[in-house]
A and B are shown apart, each in its own frame.
Chain A
Amino acid sequence: MSETGKNTQMMLGNAAIARGAWEAGVKVVSSYPGTPSTEISEEVVKYDEVYAEWAPNEKVASEVAIGAAISGVRAMTCMKMVGLNVASDPLYSISYAGVNGGLVFVVADDPGLYSSQNEQDTRRVARAAVVPCIEPSDSQEAKEFVRLAYEVSEQFDRPVIYRTTTRLAHSQCDVELCDRVEPEDRPYERNIQKNVMMPAMAQKRHIVVEQKMNELAEWANDCPLNRVEPGTMVLNGKKIGFITGGIPYQYVKEACPDAAVLKLGMCNPLPRRLIEDFAKTVDELYIFEELEPVIEEQVRAWGIPCIGKDRFTIQGEYSANMLREKVLGQDLHLKAAAQVPPRPPILCPGCPHRATFSVISKLRLHAAGDIGCYTLGALAPLNAVDTTICMGSSISSLHGMEKAKGHDYVKNWVAVIGDSTFMHTGINSLINMFYNQSHATVVILDNRTTGMTGHQDHPATGKTLKGEIVPAVNFPQLIRGIGIENVQEVDAFDVEKLTKVLKEETQKDELSVIIAVAPCALLKGQTHPYKVEPVPEKCVKCGACLRIGCPALTKAEDGSIMIDRTMCNGCGLCMSQCRFSALERVKA
C-alpha cells in the first residue's frame, strides 16, 4: 500500500496488460510467444479466472480468441508484430464480422530492432484492417487502457488492436491495482449475416464497418483515451505543441515539460475535431511518433501544417535528446562513444545448436535458416546459416531452390528449423515438400523448448502454459504420418554420428528429415557435473577448438587455450574438435 492508501505495485508493461485483462473480466487468452510480447501470457495464466494457452502459431491463437469472443466472453490474443502478419487473415475478416464479447489483439512492435527481423509499424495494419488501435504510454495506462479497449470493442462492435513497443513492454513503474469486474457472458445467437463472411454478407458488413468507425472517430474527440495537456512553451516567438502517444509522449514530457501536448491513446481512428482545435492553439505543431508517419499523414491530409518525419527519423527509438537537439536546438556536447569491439548475442555455452552447426559448417553445407536462437549460426565463426526470412521459411525456401536449380543443387544444402518454429509453420512447408516431390534434407534442431523468447512450451514439449502435463506431439510419428519415411533422430552432441547421417542424407535422391535432439543448455537440469580444462602439454595451439565459437574458450597471448570455468557448462563439444586430446573433462 502506498502513502495515499492505494494498492500499488511496480509492474512491467506486459504484467500490467495481463493485470488489465484480468480486471476487465477476460476469460480466454491464446497466444504464441514473441519478444517483446511473451510475458503478457506468462503473467495472465497466473490468474485462476483466466484460461490461457500457447497456440502453435498466431493465426491459430487469434482464431481461438475469435471463437471465444463470438461465444460471448471477453477474449485476448498476444503476439509480436510479425506474428500479426501470420494472424492477418483472421484479423481482416473478423474486422467485418465484428465481435460479441470484446476481442483484443495485443501486438508488440520493436522500434530499434532489439529482437526482430524488421521494424514494421502495427498502426499501419490497424488502418488497413479498419480496426481501432489503442496505445498506452506507461505501465499504469497499459493496465487501465485494457478495460477501455474492451469497452470500445463491445460498444462499437470492433476487434481492437492494442499496440505496445519494446520500451513499454519491458519498463516498470507503479500501477494502481483494482478488482476484477467480470461482465455477464453475452448470449450467443445464430446470426449468419454477421458471422458467415460470404460475399453477399460481407458486402453489407463492409458498410457497417465503415459506419462504426465513423461513429468511433466522433467518439474519439471526447474520449478518455485522448487528452489535451495545455502548455505555455514558446520557442523563437512561437507557441509550440506536440501530437504524440505511446513511449514518445514520455520523451516530450522529459525534454519539453511546459509544451502543449495532445496525447493520443487511440491512434486509429484519429479524432479530427480534437486535432484541428488543438492545432489552432499553437503556432508550430510537431508530430512526434516512432516509426511510420501514421498520424502525420492524416494530419497533413486534413490540411494542417506540421513538422514530423522531415525532422525526426523513421528508424529506431526516439529520445528526449532528440527533442533537445532537433526542436530546442541545443548543442548537448555529448562525448563520442569509445570505439570498442562489438558484443553481439551468441549461442550460449553448452548450446546444442552449436554442435549441429559445427558439423554443417565442417561439411561445408549451406543452411536455409529460420527464426530462433539458431539464427545466430549465421555469424562467424560458425558461418553455417545462409538465409533467414520468417517463421517456417527455411523448409519452403529450400524447396524453391531445388525447383529452381534442380535436385543435385540442394545436395549441398539443408534447411534448419527449431522445434517450436517447426510446430508454428514449418510443418506446412514440409507437407509441401512431400507433396511436390522434394529430394532435400531438413534438420529439425529440437532443443525441447521455444528458446529465444525465454523457454516457452509448445505442442511437442508435453506441457501447457499452465504447467499441466499433456501428451506431446511425436515428431518422427508426425512426419511419418505425412508419408515421409526417411526420418531419423540423432543426439545433437553425437558429432560423429551426425556427420555420417548428414553426409548420407544430403546425397540421397529422396526427402530426408533429421531430428537433432538435445535440450537447451539453459533448461533446468542441463548443467553437466563437470567442466572442461585444457591440457597444456598436449596442446599444439592449432586453434581448432576455437572454431566452434564457444564464449567460454579464449586464446592467450602465446596461443594456448584458456577456459572460463564460470562459463563452461561441460558439454564437451570442444573436446570433439581436438585431435590431440588436449582438452579433458574434470569434476565440477
Chain B
Amino acid sequence: MADKVVLKDVSKIYKTGETEYRALDHVNLNIEEGRFVVILGPSGAGKSTLLNLIGGMDNPTSGDVIVNGENISKYNDNKLSDFRAHTIGFIFQFYNILPSLTVLENVELVKEITRTKVDAKQAVRDVGLERHFYKFPNQLSGGEQQRVSIARAIAKNPALLLCDEPTGALDSVTGAMILKILKRQCDPDRGSNTVIIVTHNALIADTADVVIRVKNGHIESVSENASPTPIDDVSW
C-alpha cells in the first residue's frame, strides 16, 4: 500500500524565552494508507506534536511532512487551511464542538469549507445520534458530544482521520463505542481511510494495525500488529 504519511527528519522545537524544548527530534516515519494506527507514549513524549504536524496544525522547525505525496511543511496558512478542510478530520479529547450550534449544524459546518458532497444526517446516523439532530451540545453527555465530533470529522470522508486522546474523557463503554466507530473508517467499504490515534492508553494499542511508540521526542519503535484484538474483547 502507498504511504499516506511520510515524515523526513522532522524536528519541532518550542522556545520559551531563552529555554528551548525539543518536542520532536529528527523523526522519520512512514504510515501506509488504510491503516488503523495508534501512537503511544507517556505525557510529554511528543505524540500530540506529531499529530499536529501531520494534520497541518503546526509547522516543523525542520524536516518535511509529506501527506498524500504533498510536502505540507512548505504550505502557507491558506494552503494549510485548504489541506485541513479537504484531507483531514480531527477528533479531540474535549470534543471542540461549537456550543451554539445543534448536533446537525455542527456536522453541517463542514459544508462551509469543502466542495465534497456532505450528507450530515447520514454522518450523525452513523454515530448513532439520529435522535439528537436538533439538540445543543450542552444537552448531550460527553460520549454523545464526542460522537458529534466524530460525525463532523467523518462527514466529509477525510483521507486521514487524526484523533487526539479521543476516549480520554470517556468511560470504558462509551470509549469502546467510539473506537469501533473510528475503526470502521478504515474498512475498504468506507474508503480505506487512515486513522491515527494518539493515546497513552496501552490497551487501545492492542486494537491497532500499527503501533508507534514515542518517547522523549523520538520514535522508539514501530510495530505491526498481525492480529489486532477486536475492540469488544479488550478488557478495559
Q: Do A and B bind each other?
A: no
A positions within 8 Å CB-CB of B = none
B positions within 8 Å CB-CB of A = none
